[in-house]
Amino acid sequence: MQKIKSFMIPQGPKSPQENVHDLSPIENFRIPSKEELRELREQPTDPQAEQEIINSIDEVYFSNDSFDMVKYELEKLPSVLSLQELEQYRDRLKQQQAAVSKKVADLILEKQPSYVKELDRVTSLQTSLQLAAVICTNGRRHLNIAKEGFTQASLGLLANQRKRQLLIGLLKSLRTIKTLQRTDVRLSEMLEEEDYPGAIQLCLECQKAASTFKHYSCISELNSKLQDTLEQIEEQLDVALSKICKNFDVSHYTKVQQAYRLLGKTQTAMDQLHMHFTQAIHNTVFQVVLGYVELCAGNTDTRFQKLQYKDLCMHITSDSYIPCLADLCKALWEVMLSYYRTMEWHEKYDRDETSPGSDCSSTVGSEESNFDRSYVKKKLEHGLTRIWQDVQLKVKTYFLGTDMSSFKYDDFIFVLDIISRLMQVGEEFCGSKSEVLQESIRKQSVNYFKNYHRTRLEELRMFLENETWELCPVKSNFIILQLHEFKFLGQSQSPSVSPSKHPSSATSLFEQYCNGGNPFEIQADKDDETEDVLAANGYESDELEKSAYQEYDSDSDVPEELKRDYVDEQTGDAPVKSVSRETLRSRKRSDYNLNKVNAPILTNTTLNVIRLVGKYMQMMTILKPIAFDVIHCMSQLFDYYLYAVYTFFGRNDTYESSGLGLSSSRLRTTLNRIQESLIDMEVSTDASGTLTASEERKEKVPSPHLSHLVDLTTSETLFGLAQRVVATESLVFLAEQFEFLQTHLDSVMPAAKKPFLQQFYSQTVSTASELRKPIYWIVAAKAIDYEQMLLLMANVKWDVKEIMSQHNMYIDALLKEFEEFNKRLTEVSKQVRIPLPVSNTLWEHCIRLANRTIVEGYANVKKCSNEGRALMQLDFQQFLLKLEKLTDLRPIPDKEFVETYIKAYYLTENDMERWIKEHREYSTKQLTNLVNVCLGSHINKKARQKLLAAIDDLERPKR
């Protein structure tokens, strides 16, 4: 009814088909009869009226289909019925019914074409269904015929064939499973053969095959087992990778890398490799040191194994220190060499991979491979510094774990040689300057060198006090490079390399020892020494010295500048290639030497000092950070030797005060500096002294004393001239060796400290030859009896009236003294060669003293005439004439000093005053006597007073 009401509501035009679909298929409508239709046609056809009638129908009629209309209407009846009302109500209901019926009929008529069309479609569908039923019936009939047509045997045959095919597939699967189960044995064999790539390849293939048959329960267990095996292979692969750290093998490492590439863990392998190298360094040094500690302990005490490496190093004894250090460096070298060869392998692999002939499987794979190579390269480069830092720290801990101040020099140098070689390895390994090792070396070396130098100074004092200044016989071609202490000057190719005995090469150590050997296997080379460099006390005996020098017969390796004759060197002149005949002739007379060969003059003490210098330079070459300290100590050796020679042979206050300028201001300054800075002048220790004073005294050495075996008072030996010559000329020789070494010292001296070195050479080394003057002056002053000559001159009468033709006897006496001096000089030369500069200095001093004595004798004259002054000239000319036959010294020293004094007698008053002011070399007494005696005869008293006043003015500034 609800739908009927909706139909009655005015709507847009719809097709009959749509209207038919709107009706429920279960609803049955009563089709109006003809009479009703007629009545409907007779009803007014006003649509609005009809609609109003329909709208007047109660809503309840449209509520649902189960609505009971009769009951509803009956219940609506009033309690009192009225026929007329009932008829009216009935008519109204009829009108409503008629309106509804008319509306429904209109709708039916409107939808009738669609209805008819739909009914045709239903009929067609029914026909199709009937045809389908026929087809199905025929199909079933044909199936029954087919079923009845085949026999049971045919069907069985087909079933068996299918079953056979299934069993063949099963057999193939079973065979594969059997093979998979046997892979464990083959994998174990491959691992024993270290065929890691093959084992991993087999394992991965087995895993792939197992995933195909994972539906079998046995295969699921096998797959799990293969995964465990693969993890086990990775563990063994990691162990194999760790073996690379100590002994690199190309084929072994190639297998390991191939295995990691198969696993896709190239980067992981590199991370693990660096971890193994770090662990290898730690384990290696610990095991080496532990082995020596337990060996020295002599028991099986396991407490050492629980110690830290730093504490373990403190248990190393002095005897085992060097072999342990050598083994430590050998082991660390093996680790670094393995790392170096690892990098070489990767560089070669990268070149092979990136070569044009190599074929990349895909762009993606190529990019991944390039990324892995880049990662490996960066990791290896970063690892260089890290590994070297670990090596430095381990060696530093060992190096500083023992106090080395009591080590022998050779042992300490050997330790430095090893550490220096290790630093060279570090520089070639990663370009490191090894600051950690340098600082530890500096720290140990400063401590060692202070004690060593203090002991050497004390020994030098002992040697100087026991030195008899006898000539040490050496060959004429002797040079310091023949000493083992200076061999390093010809062997070391660069300042950074220690003075070891290894053959130098342009190739690096890694290239040199890549295929075998070890740069730290150098201990056996010490047996090749032909000279015992270090005896028990650090110095060699005379016999060893002589035997060592006798081995050097050839001078082919002697530098040209050292082949010069020492006579020329000691004069300080430049070397001359050709020597004139006059020089040769003068040498025959003046160079007091009976030997054919002019061997250098030196003593055992000199040689010991030179050896010490060589040892110091070895240490300095290795230890550039303390180069200044070493050179300073070397300078103290020279200072002390120079001071000792001066103290023994040149100090004489009487002659120093003569005013002859025997010691230059530079020499006096140098001697004062040495005395203040190096010489301990206190006789006994002051208990009340401060700590600072005691510390300063530790750096000083007591002044040496001349041995009582040396006699400097006998006139027959010219007052120890032989000893004086040996002492002085050995000092000059020592100075020459320092000059020879200056270039090398300058190359290792820090730039900021080079002024010290220059000052040492300019103010100290160069003053060595200046000691000749004060030392030989003492001989010259005692060799001639100048006082006797003054007495003889005092007895001469100078106020003669006639010009004399014969000289006075004092000249003969003086010349006799010189002849005796010449004989003694010749006797001394039989003991020791007297070089030309020495003989010249002696003659110069003697002649200078004689001339000054002559002037002093003339100044003592009370009366003198012109003829007397002429006699003075005659005497002096006779002296010069005879003297020139005894000596080749030209010109005669102080010749003008005498002649000028004699000629001053002839000056006028005005010229005399000017002459007095210009000639201040004469004493006040000599000038005064010249005015009073010589000029008194032809000047007045006033003029004499004026000249004496001028002399007094000259004397006043001196007071």
Closest to 4 in 3D by CA, of 59, 86, 83, 68: 59
Poorest-pLDDT segment among 193-207, 255-269, 668-682, 874-888: 193-207
Mean pLDDT along residues 484-497: 62
Burial class (CB in 10 A: 0-12, 13-18, 19+), 739: middle
Residue of 278 and 659 predicted with greater confidence: 278
In 3D space, the residue among 855, 862, 851, 843 whose CA is nearest the CA of residue 922 turns out to be 855
The H-or-E segment that residue 680 falls in is strand 679-680
* Alpha helices, H only, 404-498: 409-430, 435-466, 488-491
Query: Residue 171 — very low, low, confident or very high, per pLDDT cuts 50/70/90?
Result: confident
Count CB neighbours of 250 within 10 A: 11
What are 252's two structure tokens? 């072994």
Beta pairing class for 679-680 and 701-702: parallel
> Is 13 in a helix, a strand, or coil?
coil
**CA–CA separation, 212 and 172 (whole Å):** 13
Instruction: State mean pLDDT over 476-480.
Output: 85
User: What's the farthest any 2 CA atoms get from each other in the chain?
Assistant: 223
The mean pLDDT value of the chain amounts to 77
Query: Rounded to the nearest 5°, which phi and psi values hold at 923?
Result: -75, 165
What's the pLDDT score for residue 31?
Answer: 54
- Residue 866 near residue 801 (C-beta atoms within 8 A): no
pLDDT tens-place string over residues 582-619: 443 444 444 454 443 577 888 999 999 999 999 898 88
Residue 284: C-alpha distances to residues 287, 291, 430 (Å): 5, 11, 21
Query: What gap in Å lies between CA 572 and CA 549, rounded to an integer?
Result: 26
Task: Report pLDDT digits (tens) over 848-886.
Answer: 999 999 999 988 888 888 888 889 999 999 999 999 988
**Beta-bridge partners for 834:** 592
**Closest by alpha carbon to 239, among 191, 285, 201, 284?**
191
Q: What is the mean pLDDT of residues 227-247?
A: 80
Looking at residue 153, what is its pLDDT? 67
Higher model confidence: residue 623 or residue 875? 875
Domain boundaries along the sequence of the chain: 229-351+370-408+416-432, 467-489+596-679+705-769, 784-903, 907-958
Band (pLDDT 50/70/90 cuts) for residue 47 is confident
Q: Which amino acid is at 439?
A: E
User: Quick one: average pLDDT of 466-475?
Assistant: 88
pLDDT at 301: 61
What is the arithmetic mean of pLDDT over 221-229?
Answer: 68
* 702: β partners: 680
Query: What is the model's pLDDT at position 564?
Result: 40
pLDDT of 642 above 90: yes
Q: CA-CA-CA-CA torsion for 384, 390, 391, 393, nearest 10 degrees?
A: 140
Distance between the two ends of the chain, CA-based, in angstroms? 163
Q: Which two tokens stand for residue 123?
A: 């009929």
720 or 299, higher pLDDT: 720
* Of 286, 290, 305, the residue nearest 390 (C-alpha): 286
Q: Is the pLDDT confidence value at 466 over 90?
A: yes
Alpha helices for 591-663 (secondary structure H): 604-622, 627-645, 653-656
Is 546's pLDDT higher than 80? no
Convert the pLDDT of each residue in 104-148 to its tens digit: 888 888 888 888 888 899 999 999 999 999 999 999 988 888 777
User: What pLDDT shows up at residue 191?
Assistant: 67
Task: Give phi and psi for 682, each to the nearest 5.
Answer: -80, 135
For residue 455, give every residue at least 6 positions away whose Cβ sits within 8 Å of its Cβ, in sequence order, or none. none
Contacts of 583 (CB under 8 A, 6+ apart): none
**What are the distances in angstroms from CA 85 to CA 82, 92, 238, 411, 957?**
5, 10, 116, 151, 181
| 500 against 813, higher pLDDT | 813
Region 530-544: mean pLDDT is: 37
Nearest to 492 by CA among 624, 385, 389, 392: 624
Q: What is the pLDDT of residues 365-400, one digit of tens each?
A: 566 677 778 888 888 889 889 999 999 999 999 988
pTM (2 decimals)? Answer: 0.62
Q: pLDDT value at position 544?
A: 39
The first and second tokens of residue 160, run together, are: 């068996």
Helix H, strand E, coil C: the string for 544-561 is HHHHHHHCCCCCCCCCHH
Instruction: Write the pLDDT tens digit of every residue in 683-730.
Output: 544 444 444 455 556 678 899 999 999 888 888 888 888 999 999 999
Structure tokens at 943: 């003029």
| Amino acid (1-letter code) at residue 453 | H
**Token digits for 556?**
């082919």
Q: Return the axis-axis angle of helices 250-263 and 266-297, rounded to nearest 10°.
A: 140
The pLDDT of residue 913 is above 60: yes
Residue 505: the pLDDT is: 45
Average pLDDT of the residues in 825-832: 89
Q: How many residues does the chain have?
A: 959
Q: Which residue has the higher pLDDT, 468 or 524?
A: 468
- CA 324 to chain centroid, in Å, comes to 22
Which amino acid, 833?
R
* pLDDT of 6: 53
Euclidean distance between CA atoms 240 and 852, whole angstroms: 96
